[in-house]
Amino acid sequence: MENRTLGIIGGTGWLGRAIAEALLESGFIKPDHLLISNRSGVSTFEPGVKLLADNQQLVDLSDIVVLSIRPEQFRELLINARGKLVISLMAGVPAAAISAATGADVVVRAMPNAAVEIRQSFTPWYGVGNLVELDRQWVQRLFECVGSADEVPDEDCIDYLSALSGTGPAFPAMLQMALTNQAVAAGIPLAIAQRAAQGVVVGGGQMLASRDPRQMIESLMAYRGVTAAALRSMADQNIEAIVGRAVQAGAEIARKGM
Ligand SMILES: NC(=O)C1=CN([C@@H]2O[C@H](COP(=O)(O)OP(=O)(O)OC[C@H]3O[C@@H](n4cnc5c(N)ncnc54)[C@H](OP(=O)(O)O)[C@@H]3O)[C@@H](O)[C@H]2O)C=CC1
Ligand SMILES: O=C(O)[C@@H]1CCC=N1
């Protein structure tokens, strides 16, 4: 299983590059079993990792092919991947469209997020076609090299989770900006507002790595003071519905196809 060659089309991009680096660092893939392709010919990988200009050559030399290009770039991609396991990271491109365009009978759709950079992505994935147990385990282990991963029960979960977890740092970044901007509007100096908001998002996020969010909220609400007033205001304005609509808006784009 470890001797299979993995080819990453778009392996010098944001996701592809971080995943490739993690696979090499963890020893999951040896440099001579990793192939990368892009259009520009620019790569900063160690010399053992082959950079190819020809996507079909990458496919022919690979057992497993990862598509880590943007959906609009996929429309121009011409490859025949019949007989290969194709793993797509693309948002909003259905497995059926990938099969039709590449000839691959077995397609895995996976949805990591930008936290692959720090090996803390959550990656849901779903296989279409006859994905054998060995490949299933391989895919799971591959994405565990960049964080945690789960096989999900159907392809629609991928479209929904593209908006929920594929967006990665986007929601926390939005919260951090809102906290900063509102603090500045309330008269707090900008640098202090920025540090305070970052402390909330980063420090709070790190605590939640090992704590249950409901218990955390209940513990802080028990003071019946500042936190309770702030959170009650959010609940009164139905924060869950706002979050739900935001995720649905993203999921609709993924379902509609890009
Ligand atoms: N970034 C994110 O947070 C997330 C991204 N995704 C999905 O992952 C996919 C990749 O995104 P991301 O890594 O951010 O994108 P990037 O734009 O960073 O990377 C795309 C890569 O593809 C290469 N490329 C483009 N066209 C071709 C081609 N025809 N043949 C070979 N290589 C090509 C580019 O290199 P060059 O220009 O040299 O060709 C580049 O290295 C997208 O489909 C996106 O939907 C999913 C979840 C999160
Ligand atoms: O926004 C996008 O389309 C991609 C997929 C999920 C995160 N980034």
pLDDT tens string 219-234: 999 999 999 999 999 9
Domain hosting residue 110, numbered range: 6-153
- How far away, in angstroms, is 39 Cα from ligand 1 center? 11
Among 153, 180, 204, the domain boundary falls at 153
Structure tokens at 184: 């500045």
| ipTM of the prediction greater than 0.95, yes or no | yes
Q: Is 111 in the pocket of ligand 1 (CB under 6 A)?
A: yes
Task: Round to whole Å and give the CA distance between 181 and 175.
Answer: 10
Judgement on whether residues 130 and 221 belong to the same structural domain of the protein:
no
The pLDDT tens digits for 191-207 are 999 999 999 999 999 99
Mean pLDDT of 111-116: 98
Q: How would you class 3 by CB atoms within 10 Å of its CB: exposed for 0-12, middle for 13-18, buried for 19 or more?
A: exposed
Q: Ligand 1 centroid to 10 CA: how many Å?
A: 5
Q: What is residue 176's DSSP assignment?
A: H
Asked whether residue 110 falls in the same domain as residue 204, the answer is no
* pLDDT band (50, 70, 90) for residue 2: low
Give a yes or no: residue 165 inside a domain: no
28 and 75 together in one domain: yes
| Predicted local confidence at residue 1, as pLDDT | 54
Same domain (yes/no): 212, 185: yes
Dist. CA 166 → ligand 2 center (Å): 6
User: Which pLDDT belongs to residue 46?
Assistant: 84
Q: Which of 146, 203, 200, 211 is nearest to 174 (CA)?
A: 200
Q: Mean pLDDT over all residues of the chain?
A: 97
User: Ligand 1 centroid to 189 CA: how many Å?
Assistant: 39
**Helix/strand/coil for 87:** strand
The yes-or-no verdict on residue 4 having pLDDT over 80 is yes
Residue from 107, 97, 132, 50 nearest 257 by CA: 97
- Name the closest-CA residue to atom 6, ligand 2: 166
| Ligand 2 atom nearest residue 258's Cα | 3
Kindly report, residue by residue over 139-166, the tens digit of the pLDDT. 999 999 999 999 999 999 999 999 999 9
**In this structure, is residue 163 part of a structural domain?**
no
Count of domains in the chain? Answer: 2
**Residue 136 DSSP class:** H
* Radius of gyration of the chain, Cα coordinates, nearest whole angstrom: 21
- Asked if residue 229 is part of any domain, the answer here is yes
Query: Which pLDDT does position 147 carry in this prediction?
Result: 98
- 179 and 149 fall within a common domain: no
113 and 14, same domain (yes or no) = yes
